[in-house]
A and B are shown apart, each in its own frame.
Chain A
């Protein structure tokens, strides 16, 4: 008689003798996991709705712009212009996603689990920052890509593709700058509280409530005061940087001859934000 087949053996506990990778890999793992959870991947359908919906909306808006542009002799927006115009909407995305990355771990007391593993606290902070900046960049990159495909291939000539590619480069650069600065403002704010609602509120307050002040000063004052008023609001500041670097024609922010100040301010915010974030995670109780 043959032996009974398909018997399940309890082979007991197996020790792990495989490789243990470096701290860089651990940090990369936190980055990938955070980036995925920014878009609700590996989570419930409910968690996917908001980020995926916002991404779809941004792409749809871009598609409409492309279609309208194709009917006109000149495109209604440049690539940099697209980044500038979309920035307000995308700060809302950051206001929702930053708490997802930072507040959620605080709320669920996950930090002791991370900090009792090889990555350092600064590795954790940088991985989270990288994930948010990447997520925000993706929100810009999607619409940019759609615009590029639409404009480059609508006329058919291979020369157009090259021309569009050259035009796309400043757009991508602007998107990178916007993503880094937005993340450097949103994430330190989110890391202050475990309550997602508060974090979102704080971020929206910083981005939106400063807008009317900055806007009013630009409109009602004259000369230097008007040119510097854009610094008071992160979005106006970013648009000022675009203006300074790429000389966009949208005139979203008046910068006058102070373009370099806008550039320095953006750089300072990025450095300060990342420093504060690292400092915050150095001090946070685990």
Chain B
């Protein structure tokens, strides 16, 4: 079953601000990165999925259900971690997460048990009996994650979980999200404006810009055909570009570097011969580990 399906989804605020426009996307199970700049419409999509907002046009289905008509059913099966602070400072994490578990429908004993178990899973041990107000930002983020996870949802919606964390905290949070997706077996949609950060843990990516879908694909399909050789030579890039293009290779210039799509081992020979024939000095011939960010940049420049 698809996690989230949208069809020409549109959300306008007050008739003037368009947060989402004609968004059609299908998000499949796994760890899905939802990327886009601030204000691209990521949070709006999340809130529409939960039925916290009503779409002004189009359709959205979450876990095969309509979040507006079957809101209760959707919200019972989904966990949500908001972007901003959402914790009361004057209760303990254990007390707070237990309460949230009960609001999700867990009986009192189960709520208590799951709360302490979940807090342990996110890395809060004895601290969980202390007031949340005294926690560091990293610990607060963990409590926010725990309250989203406590009722064992099928789908976890995380809105910028690394917000406000230092590099070490970001790494720890992403590792945790990765574990939730892989070991716990819960599908995760994680929003971020930092593509480089979440591409490591995701199985697929959805990029939106200005409320429109930029690209959506599984990470393997994005990187599959993307082995690229980087060539750097002293002068004569133009000649080399011509020659390689003439030899039937796809060549792209990026300042002084030529990017050539790799089609098997022959490509290396062709490049070697071309460089030798043109009598150029070769500085670098390197297989480029593809950054997903480049793919998105490509996509943008083509558009």
Write the residues of chain A forming the contact surface with B, with a CB cutoff of 8 angstroms: 12-16, 18-23, 25-26, 29-30, 33, 42-44, 47, 104-105, 108-110, 112-120, 286
With A12-B183, A42-B95 as contacts: A112 and B103 at CB distance below 8 Å: no
Write the residues of chain B forming the contact surface with A, with a CB cutoff of 8 angstroms: 47, 50, 52, 71-72, 75-76, 78, 80, 82, 84-91, 95, 99-100, 102-107, 110, 114, 117, 121, 131, 147, 151-152, 183-185
Q: Chain A contacts of B50 at CB under 8 A?
A: 115-116
Closest to A286 in B: B52
With A116-B50, A116-B75, A118-B75 as contacts: A109 and B91 at CB distance below 8 Å: no
With A33-B99, A118-B75, A286-B52 as contacts: A16 and B106 at CB distance below 8 Å: yes
With A21-B106, A112-B52, A118-B76 as contacts: A15 and B86 at CB distance below 8 Å: no
Cα distance A105–B76 in the bound complex, in angstroms: 21
Which of B152, B183, B185 sits near A16, CB closer than 8 Å?
Answer: B152
A109 touches B82 (CB 8 A): yes
Q: Chain B contacts of A114 at CB under 8 A?
A: 103
B185 touches A21 (CB 8 A): no
A29 touches B99 (CB 8 A): yes
A20 touches B103 (CB 8 A): no
Query: Which of A47, A112, A120, A286 has the largest number of chain B CB atoms within 10 A?
Result: A112
Cα distance A92–B103 in the bound complex, in angstroms: 30
Q: Chain A contacts of B80 at CB under 8 A?
A: 112-113, 116
Cα distance A13–B183 in the bound complex, in angstroms: 7
Q: Chain B contacts of A110 at CB under 8 A?
A: 86-88
Cα distance A26–B71 in the bound complex, in angstroms: 15
Which of B72, B89, B95 sits near A23, CB closer than 8 Å?
Answer: B72
B88 touches A104 (CB 8 A): yes
B102 touches A112 (CB 8 A): no
The minimal Cβ–Cβ distance linking A282 to chain B, given in whole angstroms, is 12
With A13-B183, A20-B76 as contacts: A113 and B107 at CB distance below 8 Å: no
8 nearest A-B pairs in the assembled complex, by CB-CB distance: A16-B152, A29-B102, A116-B80, A20-B105, A13-B184, A21-B105, A109-B86, A118-B72
B91 touches A42 (CB 8 A): yes
B82 touches A113 (CB 8 A): yes
With A14-B117, A16-B114, A44-B131 as contacts: A116 and B78 at CB distance below 8 Å: yes
Cα distance A21–B106 in the bound complex, in angstroms: 6
Query: Which of A12, A29, A104, A119 has the largest number of chain B CB atoms within 10 A?
Result: A29
Q: Chain B contacts of A20 at CB under 8 A?
A: 76, 104-106, 151
Closest to B121 in A: A13
Cα distance A18–B100 in the bound complex, in angstroms: 16
Q: Chain A contacts of B88 at CB under 8 A?
A: 104-105, 108, 110
B86 touches A117 (CB 8 A): no
B91 touches A43 (CB 8 A): yes
